Structure 1
Protein backbone atom coordinates (compact mmCIF):
# COMPACT_ATOMS: atom_id res chain seq x y z
CA UNK A 1 0.00 0.00 0.00
CA UNK A 2 1.47 3.34 -1.08
CA UNK A 3 1.74 6.43 1.14
CA UNK A 4 -0.88 8.13 -1.02
CA UNK A 5 -3.36 5.32 -0.40
CA UNK A 6 -2.62 5.37 3.33
CA UNK A 7 -3.19 9.14 3.44
CA UNK A 8 -6.48 8.71 1.59
CA UNK A 9 -7.67 6.13 4.14
CA UNK A 10 -6.57 8.41 6.99
CA UNK A 11 -8.28 11.40 5.38
CA UNK A 12 -11.65 9.72 5.00
CA UNK A 13 -11.23 7.85 8.25
CA UNK A 14 -10.88 11.13 10.14
CA UNK A 15 -13.88 12.46 8.20
CA UNK A 16 -16.01 9.58 9.47
CA UNK A 17 -14.54 9.94 12.96
CA UNK A 18 -15.22 13.67 13.32
CA UNK A 19 -18.75 13.20 11.95
CA UNK A 20 -19.44 10.42 14.42
CA UNK A 21 -17.87 12.25 17.37
CA UNK A 22 -19.72 15.52 16.73
CA UNK A 23 -23.12 13.89 16.19
CA UNK A 24 -22.78 11.33 18.96
CA UNK A 25 -21.66 13.92 21.52
CA UNK A 26 -24.59 16.26 20.82
CA UNK A 27 -27.20 13.48 20.82
CA UNK A 28 -25.86 11.90 24.00
CA UNK A 29 -25.77 15.25 25.78
CA UNK A 30 -29.33 16.02 24.74
CA UNK A 31 -30.51 12.57 25.80
CA UNK A 32 -28.76 12.92 29.16
CA UNK A 33 -30.66 16.17 29.81
CA UNK A 34 -34.01 14.65 28.83
CA UNK A 35 -33.54 11.42 30.75
CA UNK A 36 -35.29 11.13 34.12
CA UNK A 37 -32.72 10.46 36.81
CA UNK A 38 -31.90 10.97 40.45
CA UNK A 39 -34.02 12.19 43.32
CA UNK A 40 -36.85 14.53 42.31
CA UNK A 41 -35.65 14.46 38.70
CA UNK A 42 -32.24 15.95 39.58
CA UNK A 43 -29.53 15.24 37.04
CA UNK A 44 -25.76 15.05 37.12
CA UNK A 45 -23.87 18.27 37.81
CA UNK A 46 -22.51 19.98 34.70
CA UNK A 47 -19.35 21.05 36.54
CA UNK A 48 -18.36 17.47 37.40
CA UNK A 49 -18.88 16.35 33.80
CA UNK A 50 -16.66 19.18 32.50
CA UNK A 51 -13.95 18.40 35.06
CA UNK A 52 -13.99 14.64 34.42
CA UNK A 53 -13.67 15.21 30.67
CA UNK A 54 -10.61 17.39 31.33
CA UNK A 55 -9.10 14.76 33.65
CA UNK A 56 -9.45 12.04 31.01
CA UNK A 57 -8.12 14.37 28.31
CA UNK A 58 -5.09 15.22 30.45
CA UNK A 59 -4.37 11.53 31.07
CA UNK A 60 -4.57 10.87 27.32
CA UNK A 61 -2.12 13.72 26.60
CA UNK A 62 0.28 12.40 29.25
CA UNK A 63 0.05 8.97 27.61
CA UNK A 64 0.85 10.51 24.21
CA UNK A 65 3.89 12.27 25.69
CA UNK A 66 5.15 9.00 27.18
CA UNK A 67 4.49 7.19 23.88
CA UNK A 68 6.37 9.89 21.96
CA UNK A 69 9.39 9.31 24.22
CA UNK A 70 9.45 5.55 23.74
CA UNK A 71 7.54 4.79 26.95
CA UNK A 72 10.49 6.05 29.03
CA UNK A 73 8.82 7.54 32.12
CA UNK A 74 11.89 9.35 33.43
CA UNK A 75 12.46 11.17 30.14
CA UNK A 76 8.77 12.07 29.87
CA UNK A 77 8.71 13.38 33.45
CA UNK A 78 11.80 15.47 32.75
CA UNK A 79 10.19 17.01 29.65
CA UNK A 80 6.95 17.64 31.55
CA UNK A 81 8.81 19.46 34.34
CA UNK A 82 11.03 21.43 31.97
CA UNK A 83 8.34 22.52 29.50
CA UNK A 84 5.32 22.96 31.77
CA UNK A 85 6.34 23.54 35.38
CA UNK A 86 9.76 25.20 35.04
CA UNK A 87 8.66 27.12 31.94
CA UNK A 88 5.75 28.72 33.79
CA UNK A 89 6.07 31.96 31.79
CA UNK A 90 5.09 30.09 28.62
CA UNK A 91 2.55 27.84 30.33
CA UNK A 92 0.56 30.70 31.86
CA UNK A 93 -0.16 32.06 28.37
CA UNK A 94 -2.67 29.21 28.05
CA UNK A 95 -4.66 30.38 31.09
CA UNK A 96 -6.98 32.60 29.05
CA UNK A 97 -7.95 30.06 26.34
CA UNK A 98 -8.33 27.29 28.94
CA UNK A 99 -10.70 29.49 30.98
CA UNK A 100 -12.72 30.21 27.83
CA UNK A 101 -12.81 26.55 26.82
CA UNK A 102 -14.04 25.59 30.30
CA UNK A 103 -16.74 28.27 30.09
CA UNK A 104 -17.65 27.08 26.60
CA UNK A 105 -17.97 23.42 27.65
CA UNK A 106 -20.22 24.38 30.56
CA UNK A 107 -22.41 26.65 28.44
CA UNK A 108 -22.78 23.97 25.76
CA UNK A 109 -24.44 21.72 28.34
CA UNK A 110 -26.75 24.60 29.30
CA UNK A 111 -27.54 25.17 25.62
CA UNK A 112 -28.26 21.53 24.82
CA UNK A 113 -30.48 21.38 27.92
CA UNK A 114 -32.69 24.08 26.43
CA UNK A 115 -32.49 23.43 22.68
CA UNK A 116 -33.16 20.31 20.66
CA UNK A 117 -30.11 18.67 19.09
CA UNK A 118 -30.96 19.81 15.54
CA UNK A 119 -31.42 23.50 16.40
CA UNK A 120 -28.33 23.43 18.59
CA UNK A 121 -26.18 21.93 15.82
CA UNK A 122 -27.25 24.51 13.27
CA UNK A 123 -26.95 27.50 15.61
CA UNK A 124 -23.56 26.40 16.91
CA UNK A 125 -22.12 26.79 13.41
CA UNK A 126 -21.97 30.52 14.21
CA UNK A 127 -18.55 29.63 15.66
CA UNK A 128 -17.35 29.80 12.02
CA UNK A 129 -18.36 33.46 11.97
CA UNK A 130 -16.72 34.29 15.31
CA UNK A 131 -13.55 32.37 14.37
CA UNK A 132 -13.35 34.29 11.08
CA UNK A 133 -13.86 37.60 12.90
CA UNK A 134 -11.11 36.95 15.44
CA UNK A 135 -8.80 35.54 12.74
CA UNK A 136 -9.05 38.83 10.87
CA UNK A 137 -8.71 40.84 14.09
CA UNK A 138 -5.88 38.95 15.82
CA UNK A 139 -4.04 37.18 13.00
CA UNK A 140 -4.56 39.64 10.20
CA UNK A 141 -6.01 36.98 7.90
CA UNK A 142 -7.75 38.02 4.71
CA UNK A 143 -10.99 36.35 3.70
CA UNK A 144 -11.96 35.86 0.08
CA UNK A 145 -15.15 37.33 -1.35
CA UNK A 146 -16.65 33.85 -1.42
CA UNK A 147 -15.98 33.43 2.29
CA UNK A 148 -17.64 36.75 3.15
CA UNK A 149 -20.71 35.70 1.16
CA UNK A 150 -20.67 32.32 2.93
CA UNK A 151 -20.61 34.05 6.32
CA UNK A 152 -23.59 36.19 5.34
CA UNK A 153 -25.50 33.09 4.22
CA UNK A 154 -24.53 31.40 7.49
CA UNK A 155 -25.96 34.27 9.55
CA UNK A 156 -29.16 34.32 7.50
CA UNK A 157 -29.59 30.56 7.86
CA UNK A 158 -29.19 30.65 11.64
CA UNK A 159 -31.72 33.50 11.86
CA UNK A 160 -34.19 31.42 9.82
CA UNK A 161 -33.78 28.47 12.19
CA UNK A 162 -34.40 30.69 15.22
CA UNK A 163 -37.50 32.41 13.82
CA UNK A 164 -40.81 31.39 15.42
CA UNK A 165 -42.84 28.96 13.30
CA UNK A 166 -46.04 30.99 13.37
CA UNK A 167 -48.85 32.14 15.60
CA UNK A 168 -49.90 29.78 18.33
CA UNK A 169 -51.92 29.93 21.48
CA UNK A 170 -49.90 31.29 24.36
CA UNK A 171 -49.96 28.74 27.15
CA UNK A 172 -47.74 28.04 30.13
CA UNK A 173 -46.07 25.31 28.08
CA UNK A 174 -45.30 27.53 25.09
CA UNK A 175 -44.14 30.34 27.39
CA UNK A 176 -41.75 27.95 29.14
CA UNK A 177 -40.51 26.63 25.81
CA UNK A 178 -39.85 30.17 24.57
CA UNK A 179 -37.98 30.99 27.77
CA UNK A 180 -35.85 27.86 27.38
CA UNK A 181 -35.12 28.72 23.75
CA UNK A 182 -33.86 32.15 24.76
CA UNK A 183 -31.59 30.65 27.44
CA UNK A 184 -30.28 28.09 24.96
CA UNK A 185 -29.67 30.70 22.27
CA UNK A 186 -27.78 33.02 24.64
CA UNK A 187 -25.67 30.08 25.85
CA UNK A 188 -24.83 29.10 22.27
CA UNK A 189 -23.94 32.67 21.27
CA UNK A 190 -21.57 33.09 24.24
CA UNK A 191 -20.08 29.65 23.49
CA UNK A 192 -19.46 30.66 19.88
CA UNK A 193 -17.71 33.86 20.97
CA UNK A 194 -15.65 31.93 23.50
CA UNK A 195 -14.79 29.20 20.99
CA UNK A 196 -13.83 31.68 18.27
CA UNK A 197 -11.55 33.79 20.44
CA UNK A 198 -9.96 30.85 22.29
CA UNK A 199 -9.31 28.94 19.07
CA UNK A 200 -7.65 31.88 17.31
CA UNK A 201 -5.68 32.86 20.42
CA UNK A 202 -4.47 29.25 20.73
CA UNK A 203 -3.47 29.22 17.05
CA UNK A 204 -1.55 32.46 17.55
CA UNK A 205 0.38 30.92 20.42
CA UNK A 206 1.15 27.83 18.35
CA UNK A 207 2.43 29.97 15.48
CA UNK A 208 4.35 32.66 17.33
CA UNK A 209 5.11 31.09 20.72
CA UNK A 210 8.36 29.40 21.68
CA UNK A 211 6.68 26.01 22.12
CA UNK A 212 5.80 24.28 18.82
CA UNK A 213 4.72 20.83 20.08
CA UNK A 214 0.94 20.44 20.04
CA UNK A 215 1.18 17.73 22.73
CA UNK A 216 3.04 20.05 25.11
CA UNK A 217 0.64 22.88 24.31
CA UNK A 218 -2.33 20.63 25.10
CA UNK A 219 -0.73 19.68 28.41
CA UNK A 220 -0.15 23.35 29.23
CA UNK A 221 -3.77 23.99 28.33
CA UNK A 222 -4.83 20.97 30.40
CA UNK A 223 -3.14 22.21 33.57
CA UNK A 224 -5.27 25.36 33.63
CA UNK A 225 -8.35 23.50 32.40
CA UNK A 226 -8.10 21.25 35.46
CA UNK A 227 -7.78 24.32 37.68
CA UNK A 228 -10.77 26.14 36.15
CA UNK A 229 -12.78 22.92 36.05
CA UNK A 230 -12.11 22.43 39.76
CA UNK A 231 -13.25 26.00 40.44
CA UNK A 232 -16.52 25.19 38.69
CA UNK A 233 -16.95 22.19 40.98
CA UNK A 234 -16.31 24.39 44.02
CA UNK A 235 -19.14 26.70 42.96
CA UNK A 236 -21.59 23.81 43.27
CA UNK A 237 -19.83 22.20 46.23
CA UNK A 238 -22.85 22.37 48.53
CA UNK A 239 -24.99 20.25 46.20
CA UNK A 240 -22.09 17.91 45.46
CA UNK A 241 -21.59 17.33 49.19
CA UNK A 242 -25.26 16.53 49.55
CA UNK A 243 -25.65 14.19 46.58
CA UNK A 244 -22.07 13.11 45.79
CA UNK A 245 -19.57 13.96 43.06
CA UNK A 246 -20.76 11.23 40.71
CA UNK A 247 -24.46 11.76 41.39
CA UNK A 248 -26.58 10.91 38.35
CA UNK A 249 -23.69 9.24 36.52
CA UNK A 250 -24.80 6.39 34.29
CA UNK A 251 -23.01 4.53 31.47
CA UNK A 252 -24.36 7.25 29.16
CA UNK A 253 -22.68 10.00 31.21
CA UNK A 254 -19.37 8.13 31.27
CA UNK A 255 -19.61 7.69 27.52
CA UNK A 256 -20.07 11.47 27.16
CA UNK A 257 -16.97 12.04 29.32
CA UNK A 258 -14.80 9.90 27.04
CA UNK A 259 -16.36 11.20 23.81
CA UNK A 260 -15.64 14.79 24.90
CA UNK A 261 -12.15 13.93 26.11
CA UNK A 262 -11.19 12.36 22.79
CA UNK A 263 -12.86 15.16 20.85
CA UNK A 264 -9.65 17.22 20.96
CA UNK A 265 -7.66 14.34 19.47
CA UNK A 266 -10.23 13.96 16.72
CA UNK A 267 -9.89 17.66 15.87
CA UNK A 268 -6.10 17.33 15.83
CA UNK A 269 -6.34 14.35 13.49
CA UNK A 270 -8.69 16.29 11.23
CA UNK A 271 -6.27 19.21 11.12
CA UNK A 272 -3.47 16.83 10.19
CA UNK A 273 -5.08 14.59 7.59
CA UNK A 274 -8.23 16.30 6.27
CA UNK A 275 -8.83 19.61 4.55
CA UNK A 276 -11.41 22.34 5.13
CA UNK A 277 -13.76 21.03 2.44
CA UNK A 278 -13.91 17.63 4.11
CA UNK A 279 -14.43 19.26 7.52
CA UNK A 280 -17.32 21.25 6.07
CA UNK A 281 -18.72 18.06 4.58
CA UNK A 282 -18.44 16.33 7.98
CA UNK A 283 -20.28 19.24 9.63
CA UNK A 284 -23.06 19.02 7.04
CA UNK A 285 -23.51 15.28 7.59
CA UNK A 286 -23.51 15.83 11.35
CA UNK A 287 -26.30 18.45 11.09
CA UNK A 288 -28.41 16.10 8.97
CA UNK A 289 -27.83 13.11 11.27
CA UNK A 290 -28.57 15.18 14.39
CA UNK A 291 -31.83 16.44 12.86
CA UNK A 292 -32.99 12.99 11.81
CA UNK A 293 -32.07 11.38 15.14
CA UNK A 294 -33.62 14.26 17.09
CA UNK A 295 -36.87 13.73 15.18
CA UNK A 296 -37.08 9.94 15.12
CA UNK A 297 -35.21 8.89 18.30
CA UNK A 298 -35.36 11.73 20.83
CA UNK A 299 -38.80 12.91 19.69
CA UNK A 300 -38.05 16.48 20.82
CA UNK A 301 -37.97 18.13 17.42
CA UNK A 302 -40.34 18.72 14.51
CA UNK A 303 -39.29 19.73 11.02
CA UNK A 304 -40.75 22.94 9.59
CA UNK A 305 -40.09 24.94 6.46
CA UNK A 306 -38.01 27.67 8.12
CA UNK A 307 -35.76 25.10 9.80
CA UNK A 308 -35.20 23.19 6.56
CA UNK A 309 -34.41 26.39 4.63
CA UNK A 310 -32.12 27.68 7.40
CA UNK A 311 -30.33 24.35 7.83
CA UNK A 312 -29.69 24.06 4.08
CA UNK A 313 -28.29 27.60 4.05
CA UNK A 314 -25.96 26.79 6.96
CA UNK A 315 -24.81 23.56 5.30
CA UNK A 316 -24.11 25.40 2.01
CA UNK A 317 -22.34 28.23 3.84
CA UNK A 318 -20.16 25.78 5.79
CA UNK A 319 -19.16 24.05 2.56
CA UNK A 320 -18.46 27.20 0.54
CA UNK A 321 -16.52 28.81 3.39
CA UNK A 322 -14.07 25.89 3.21
CA UNK A 323 -13.73 26.01 -0.59
CA UNK A 324 -11.03 28.36 -1.80
CA UNK A 325 -8.77 28.61 -4.83
CA UNK A 326 -5.53 26.64 -4.58
CA UNK A 327 -3.51 29.82 -4.51
CA UNK A 328 -5.37 30.79 -1.30
CA UNK A 329 -5.15 28.96 2.00
CA UNK A 330 -7.54 29.01 4.90
CA UNK A 331 -4.51 28.57 7.12
CA UNK A 332 -1.62 30.99 7.10
CA UNK A 333 1.79 29.81 5.77
CA UNK A 334 3.11 29.80 9.34
CA UNK A 335 0.34 27.45 10.39
CA UNK A 336 1.01 25.17 7.39
CA UNK A 337 4.68 24.96 8.35
CA UNK A 338 3.75 24.24 11.95
CA UNK A 339 1.41 21.41 10.95
CA UNK A 340 4.05 19.92 8.64
CA UNK A 341 6.63 20.08 11.45
CA UNK A 342 4.18 18.43 13.82
CA UNK A 343 3.63 15.65 11.28
CA UNK A 344 7.36 14.89 11.28
CA UNK A 345 7.37 14.81 15.07
CA UNK A 346 4.31 12.61 15.50
CA UNK A 347 4.75 10.24 12.52
CA UNK A 348 6.11 6.93 13.80
Structure 2
Protein backbone atom coordinates (compact mmCIF):
# COMPACT_ATOMS: atom_id res chain seq x y z
CA UNK A 1 0.00 0.00 0.00
CA UNK A 2 1.45 3.32 -1.07
CA UNK A 3 1.22 6.11 1.48
CA UNK A 4 0.21 9.65 0.62
CA UNK A 5 1.55 12.17 3.17
CA UNK A 6 -0.58 15.01 1.79
CA UNK A 7 -3.76 12.96 2.10
CA UNK A 8 -2.76 11.96 5.65
CA UNK A 9 -2.11 15.58 6.58
CA UNK A 10 -5.47 16.65 5.16
CA UNK A 11 -7.22 13.88 7.12
CA UNK A 12 -5.52 14.95 10.37
CA UNK A 13 -6.32 18.62 9.69
CA UNK A 14 -10.00 17.76 9.17
CA UNK A 15 -10.03 15.67 12.37
CA UNK A 16 -8.48 18.53 14.35
CA UNK A 17 -10.93 21.01 12.84
CA UNK A 18 -13.87 18.75 13.71
CA UNK A 19 -12.65 18.23 17.29
CA UNK A 20 -13.11 21.97 17.80
CA UNK A 21 -16.84 21.43 17.39
CA UNK A 22 -16.86 19.54 20.70
CA UNK A 23 -15.84 22.71 22.52
CA UNK A 24 -18.41 24.73 20.56
CA UNK A 25 -21.05 22.09 21.34
CA UNK A 26 -20.26 22.38 25.05
CA UNK A 27 -20.48 26.18 24.91
CA UNK A 28 -23.83 26.07 23.11
CA UNK A 29 -25.28 23.55 25.57
CA UNK A 30 -24.16 25.46 28.65
CA UNK A 31 -24.87 29.01 27.49
CA UNK A 32 -28.25 28.46 25.86
CA UNK A 33 -31.63 28.61 27.55
CA UNK A 34 -32.93 26.03 25.09
CA UNK A 35 -33.59 22.62 26.61
CA UNK A 36 -31.04 19.85 26.18
CA UNK A 37 -33.73 17.68 24.59
CA UNK A 38 -34.66 20.36 22.05
CA UNK A 39 -30.97 20.67 21.10
CA UNK A 40 -30.74 16.90 20.66
CA UNK A 41 -33.82 16.87 18.44
CA UNK A 42 -32.33 19.66 16.33
CA UNK A 43 -29.09 17.73 15.86
CA UNK A 44 -30.66 14.34 15.23
CA UNK A 45 -33.26 15.61 12.75
CA UNK A 46 -30.57 16.85 10.41
CA UNK A 47 -28.74 13.52 10.68
CA UNK A 48 -31.94 11.57 10.06
CA UNK A 49 -32.79 13.63 6.96
CA UNK A 50 -29.31 13.19 5.45
CA UNK A 51 -29.33 9.45 6.21
CA UNK A 52 -32.79 8.93 4.72
CA UNK A 53 -31.71 10.71 1.55
CA UNK A 54 -28.73 8.38 1.29
CA UNK A 55 -30.84 5.29 1.98
CA UNK A 56 -33.39 6.15 -0.68
CA UNK A 57 -30.70 7.08 -3.22
CA UNK A 58 -29.03 3.68 -2.80
CA UNK A 59 -31.90 1.30 -2.01
CA UNK A 60 -35.16 3.01 -3.00
CA UNK A 61 -36.40 0.18 -5.23
CA UNK A 62 -35.80 -2.48 -2.60
CA UNK A 63 -37.37 -0.34 0.13
CA UNK A 64 -40.48 0.30 -1.97
CA UNK A 65 -40.75 -3.41 -2.76
CA UNK A 66 -40.00 -4.97 0.63
CA UNK A 67 -40.48 -2.15 3.13
CA UNK A 68 -38.09 -0.01 5.15
CA UNK A 69 -37.56 -2.49 7.99
CA UNK A 70 -37.07 -5.57 5.81
CA UNK A 71 -34.00 -7.51 6.89
CA UNK A 72 -33.81 -6.04 10.37
CA UNK A 73 -32.57 -8.73 12.73
CA UNK A 74 -32.70 -8.53 16.52
CA UNK A 75 -29.02 -7.57 16.47
CA UNK A 76 -29.72 -4.65 14.10
CA UNK A 77 -32.57 -3.51 16.36
CA UNK A 78 -30.21 -3.65 19.33
CA UNK A 79 -27.63 -1.51 17.51
CA UNK A 80 -30.31 1.03 16.60
CA UNK A 81 -31.44 1.20 20.22
CA UNK A 82 -27.82 1.46 21.38
CA UNK A 83 -27.47 4.60 19.30
CA UNK A 84 -29.29 6.35 22.13
CA UNK A 85 -25.75 6.68 23.52
CA UNK A 86 -25.61 10.01 21.72
CA UNK A 87 -28.15 11.26 24.23
CA UNK A 88 -25.86 10.18 27.04
CA UNK A 89 -23.06 12.19 25.47
CA UNK A 90 -25.21 15.31 25.45
CA UNK A 91 -26.16 14.85 29.09
CA UNK A 92 -22.53 14.34 30.11
CA UNK A 93 -21.39 17.45 28.23
CA UNK A 94 -24.29 19.54 29.56
CA UNK A 95 -23.75 18.69 33.21
CA UNK A 96 -19.96 18.13 33.34
CA UNK A 97 -17.53 19.17 30.62
CA UNK A 98 -15.85 18.02 27.44
CA UNK A 99 -12.86 16.54 29.29
CA UNK A 100 -15.11 14.35 31.42
CA UNK A 101 -16.80 13.18 28.21
CA UNK A 102 -13.38 12.08 26.97
CA UNK A 103 -12.72 10.27 30.22
CA UNK A 104 -16.08 8.52 30.05
CA UNK A 105 -15.28 7.39 26.50
CA UNK A 106 -11.94 6.07 27.71
CA UNK A 107 -13.64 4.29 30.59
CA UNK A 108 -16.07 2.71 28.12
CA UNK A 109 -13.10 1.41 26.12
CA UNK A 110 -11.57 -0.08 29.25
CA UNK A 111 -14.85 -1.71 30.31
CA UNK A 112 -15.52 -3.16 26.86
CA UNK A 113 -12.00 -4.55 26.65
CA UNK A 114 -12.27 -6.15 30.08
CA UNK A 115 -15.59 -7.64 29.03
CA UNK A 116 -13.92 -8.98 25.86
CA UNK A 117 -11.20 -10.60 27.94
CA UNK A 118 -13.74 -12.21 30.26
CA UNK A 119 -16.35 -13.20 27.68
CA UNK A 120 -14.19 -14.02 24.67
CA UNK A 121 -10.82 -14.91 26.18
CA UNK A 122 -9.00 -11.96 24.63
CA UNK A 123 -5.31 -12.04 25.62
CA UNK A 124 -3.95 -8.51 26.02
CA UNK A 125 -0.95 -7.96 28.27
CA UNK A 126 0.15 -4.47 27.22
CA UNK A 127 -3.41 -3.18 27.46
CA UNK A 128 -3.25 -3.49 31.24
CA UNK A 129 -0.84 -0.55 31.57
CA UNK A 130 -3.05 1.64 29.37
CA UNK A 131 -6.13 0.66 31.34
CA UNK A 132 -4.39 1.56 34.58
CA UNK A 133 -3.36 4.95 33.18
CA UNK A 134 -6.94 5.65 32.10
CA UNK A 135 -8.34 4.70 35.50
CA UNK A 136 -5.74 6.78 37.35
CA UNK A 137 -6.41 9.79 35.12
CA UNK A 138 -10.15 9.52 35.75
CA UNK A 139 -9.50 9.33 39.48
CA UNK A 140 -7.11 12.30 39.47
CA UNK A 141 -9.44 14.43 37.38
CA UNK A 142 -12.28 13.75 39.80
CA UNK A 143 -10.33 14.83 42.89
CA UNK A 144 -11.56 18.05 44.49
CA UNK A 145 -9.59 21.15 43.55
CA UNK A 146 -7.26 22.51 46.22
CA UNK A 147 -6.52 26.15 46.88
CA UNK A 148 -2.94 26.68 45.76
CA UNK A 149 -2.92 30.45 46.34
CA UNK A 150 -1.68 29.95 49.92
CA UNK A 151 1.18 27.77 48.72
CA UNK A 152 2.36 30.39 46.24
CA UNK A 153 2.20 33.12 48.93
CA UNK A 154 4.35 31.05 51.28
CA UNK A 155 6.91 30.56 48.52
CA UNK A 156 7.22 34.31 47.90
CA UNK A 157 7.68 35.09 51.60
CA UNK A 158 10.86 33.02 51.77
CA UNK A 159 13.97 34.65 50.48
CA UNK A 160 16.34 32.42 48.63
CA UNK A 161 19.99 33.39 48.45
CA UNK A 162 21.45 32.69 45.08
CA UNK A 163 25.09 32.58 44.28
CA UNK A 164 26.09 34.94 41.53
CA UNK A 165 26.61 33.21 38.25
CA UNK A 166 30.16 32.87 36.98
CA UNK A 167 29.44 33.17 33.29
Which TM-score bucket, shorter chain as reference?
0.5 to 0.7
Equivalent position to 2:75, from 240, 248, 252: 252
Equivalent position to 2:145, from 321, 325, 342: 325
Structure 1 residue 196 and structure 2 residue 19: aligned? yes
C-alpha separation in 2, matches of 1:321 and 1:297: 30
RMSD of the alignment, in Å? 4.3
Displaced runs of 4 or more, over 6 A: 189-192, 272-281
Give the direction of change, closer, same or farther, for the CA distance of 1:213–1:277 in structure 2 (3 Å limit): closer
Structural mapping, 1:118-197, within 5 Å: 196-197=19-20
Larger Rg: 2
Task: State the TM-score, normalized to the length of structure 1.
Answer: 0.30
Deviation at 1:202, TM superposition (A): 1.8
Task: State the TM-score, normalized to the length of structure 2.
Answer: 0.53
C-alpha separation in 1, matches of 2:55 and 2:106: 35
Deviation at 1:286, TM superposition (A): 3.3
Equivalent position to 2:123, from 289, 296, 302: 302
C-alpha separation in 1, matches of 2:61 and 2:140: 47
Q: Would you say how many aligned residue pairs link Structure 1 and Structure 2?
A: 135
- 2:124 match: secondary structure: coil
Deviation at 1:276, TM superposition (A): 8.8
Ranges in structure 2 where 5+ consecutive residues have no aligned partner: 1-11, 148-167
Q: Which residue of 1 aligns with 2:48?
A: 226
Question: Are 1:276 and 1:322, in contact at CA under 8 Å, matched by a contact in 2?
Answer: no
Q: Which residue of 2 aligns with 1:315?
A: 135
Give the structure with the higher percent helix: 1
Question: Are 1:295 and 1:302, in contact at CA under 8 Å, matched by a contact in 2?
Answer: yes
Deviation at 1:201, TM superposition (A): 2.1
- 1:258 match: secondary structure: helix
Ranges in structure 1 where 5+ consecutive residues have no aligned partner: 1-188, 328-348
- 1:295 match: secondary structure: helix
C-alpha separation in 1, matches of 2:110 and 2:97: 20
Structure 1 residue 213 and structure 2 residue 8: aligned? no
C-alpha separation in 2, matches of 1:285 and 1:260: 18
Question: Are 2:117 and 2:123, in contact at CA under 8 Å, matched by a contact in 1?
Answer: yes
C-alpha separation in 2, matches of 1:231 and 1:295: 40
Deviation at 1:192, TM superposition (A): 7.0
Deviation at 1:319, TM superposition (A): 3.8
Q: Which residue of 2 aligns with 1:289?
A: 111
Higher relative contact order (CA 8 A, sep 6+): 1
Q: Which residue of 1 aligns with 2:6?
A: none
